[in-house]
Structure 1
Amino acid sequence: MKKSFLFISCDEAKHICDKAQYDEASTWEQFKLRLRLMYCNISKKYSSNNTKLSQTIEKSKVQCLKTDELNKLQSQFDKELAKQQQD
């Protein structure tokens, strides 16, 4: 099947949508995505849900573990796992 120069598949649109969310999509990719969003309801819905998810995560102000806390948790997990494997 011949790949189109201007029109993209739904899968490619999803990939570009993800890239655009993190400002990694080129201008040409964004143009092709916008073109796809004009006629594809599936891609529109994916893009809309992707935007809502990003906004929800930003509003939640999730705090991640610091590196030293993460390392400590990992070492505790490894110790418990070793105990379980010995039994």
Structure 2
Amino acid sequence: MKLFVDCKKAGHLCDKGQYEDASFFEKLNVRFHNLICKHCSDYSERNAKLTKLLKDPKCRQMPEECKKRIREELERELAKEKAEQKP
């Protein structure tokens, strides 16, 4: 395995690390890449924040009934907008 990876591979390895599927060497590759690539470093930082937020016990999933209500409201609005566009 190469010591330095391209941005696409670094992003993939970063994602693997987020789900705790990356090996030690893969994590090391991401770290080395992030030293020289600001874009990927920012991506890794945002990924880490997201992971931390999702692991927070205060983070809860939206109830299904709420999702259904939002979906139905969106569908009504889209249908209304579509009907207004017809001549």
Runs of 4+ in 1 over 4 A off after TM superposition: none
After TM superposition, the score normalised by the length of structure 1 is 0.62
Structure 1, unpaired ranges of 5+: none
In structure 2, the partner of 1:64 is 61
Structure 2, unpaired ranges of 5+: none
User: What CA deviation, in whole Å up to 9, does each residue of 1:1-38 have, x standing for no partner?
Assistant: xxxx323223211211111111233x3xx413304524
Aligned residues: 80
1:45 aligns with 2:41: yes
After TM superposition, the score normalised by the length of structure 2 is 0.62
| Separation in structure 2 between the aligned mates of residue 22 and residue 69 of structure 1, nearest angstrom | 28
> What is the root-mean-square deviation in Å for CA atoms of aligned residues?
2.9
* Percent identity over paired residues: 24
Task: Give the 3 Å change call, closer, same or farther, for CA 13–79 of structure 1 in structure 2.
Answer: same
